[in-house]
Amino acid sequence: MKNFKINHREVQSYDVLELCGELDAHTASQLEDSLKRLIDQEKHQIIVNCKQLDYIASAGLGVFMAYIEDVRSLGGDIKLTNMNPKVYNVFDLLGFPSLYDILEDETDAIKKFETDEAES
């Protein structure tokens, strides 16, 4: 089994999931469980920090697709940050930048959440 782990922490009123290692068919269920847990706790403002994410497969992307509608229907969002070029290219190939906010870092993600809230 590949090395993959998720660190969860809170920054202000936002939940940050730090992905570390390789997100693929074998590890996607961990991300699924983490997102499910946050949604069940009614935490809908989620920042996924990809700084230590080395690799993402389509199964990992599928998890984001599966949960984004749930999160948005509850008035929240999933913002992605700190992607290395290799990981970003995978997201980019599949058109994710038009579906998700992909930001430089967590500070930018928080600012974007605050802007979105002010506009709604």
pLDDT of 120 over the 80 cut: no
Confidence category of residue 1, pLDDT binned at 50, 70, 90? very low
Q: Please, are residues 104 and 82 in contact by the beta-carbon 8 Å criterion?
A: yes
pLDDT of residue 59: 95
Q: Determine the Cα angle at 107 with ends 99 and 30, to 5°.
A: 60
Using CA atoms of 13, 14, 15, 21 in order, give the dihedral in degrees to the nearest 10.
-150
Domains of the chain as residue ranges with CATH: 4-115 (3.30.750.24)
Distance from the Cα of residue 102 to its chain's centroid? 9
Q: Please, are residues 17 and 36 in contact by the beta-carbon 8 Å criterion?
A: no
3-class SS of residue 103: strand
pLDDT of residue 2: 63
Confidence category of residue 118, pLDDT binned at 50, 70, 90? confident
Give per-residue pLDDT as tens, 32-85. 999 999 999 999 999 999 999 999 999 999 999 999 999 999 999 999 999 999
